[in-house]
């Protein structure tokens, strides 16, 4: 499962970078990036804006990759220190899943920007992508927090 999460996150990062590169070569210098309720462009940007979601994906990827190398004492868990050993792997799994999810959210954002600039899908991320993406992220966090709390409690009952 660890390899799957890493491959998923790396593919998201690669997709974000490829979308920025593709857009720089194929899009006009200025293109619409936001549309009002009547589908009329009301926000414009240049090719450099394509690097924003790719850059954020890079920062997320590198930053959340480095979390696993932090000392165990740097992570704050809501229970006694002797129970941290049971919760740490679950916390690191949560960070790895969030890395994969967040890199893909920004990769999709880069893809949507290119599609919008080409006139293929105006403002699609606000209509169907953002709410489910946020639900997935919050569900990941809640699921792993519940698992960490249970792991901490099971250590208590075993003692």
Q: What pLDDT, in 10s, does the model give residues 90-134?
A: 999 999 999 999 999 999 988 888 887 887 765 555 567 878 899
Q: Please tell me whether residue 41 adopts helix, strand or coil conformation.
A: strand
pLDDT of residue 14: 97
Per-residue pLDDT band at 159 (split at 50, 70, 90): very low
For 16-53, how does the pLDDT look when each residue is reduced to its tens digit (9 = 90+)? 999 999 999 998 888 877 777 777 778 888 888 889 99
pLDDT greater than 90 at residue 55: yes
Average pLDDT over residues 55-76: 90
Q: Cα separations (Å) of 7 from 4, 61, 64, 95? A: 5, 12, 14, 14
The answer to whether 124 and 34 are in contact (CB under 8 A) is: no
Per DSSP, the residues of 95-137 read HHHHHHHHHHHHHHHHHHHHHHHTTSSTTHIIIIIHHHHHHHH
Average pLDDT over residues 5-24: 95
d(CA 57, CA 156): 39
Phi and psi of 70, rounded to 5°?
A: -70, 150
Structure pTM? 0.82
């Amino acid at each position: 499962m660890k390899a799957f999460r890493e491959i998923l996150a790396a593919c998201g990062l690669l997709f974000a970078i490829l979308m920025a590169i593709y857009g720089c070569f194929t899009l006009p210098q200025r293109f619409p990036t936001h549309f009002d309720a009547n589908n009329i462009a009301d926000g414009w940007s240049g090719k450099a804006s394509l690097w924003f979601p790719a850059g954020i994906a890079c920062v997320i990827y590198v930053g959340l990759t480095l979390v696993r190398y932090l000392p165990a004492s740097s992570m704050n868990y809501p229970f006694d220190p002797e129970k941290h050993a049971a919760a740490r792997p679950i916390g690191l799994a949560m960070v790895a899943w969030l890395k994969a999810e967040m890199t893909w959210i920004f990769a999709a954002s880069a893809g949507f920007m290119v599609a919008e600039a080409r006139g293929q899908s105006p403002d699609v991320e606000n209509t169907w992508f953002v709410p489910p993406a946020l639900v997935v992220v919050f569900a990941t966090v809640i699921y792993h927090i519940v698992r960490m709390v249970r792991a901490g409690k099971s250590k208590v009952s075993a003692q």
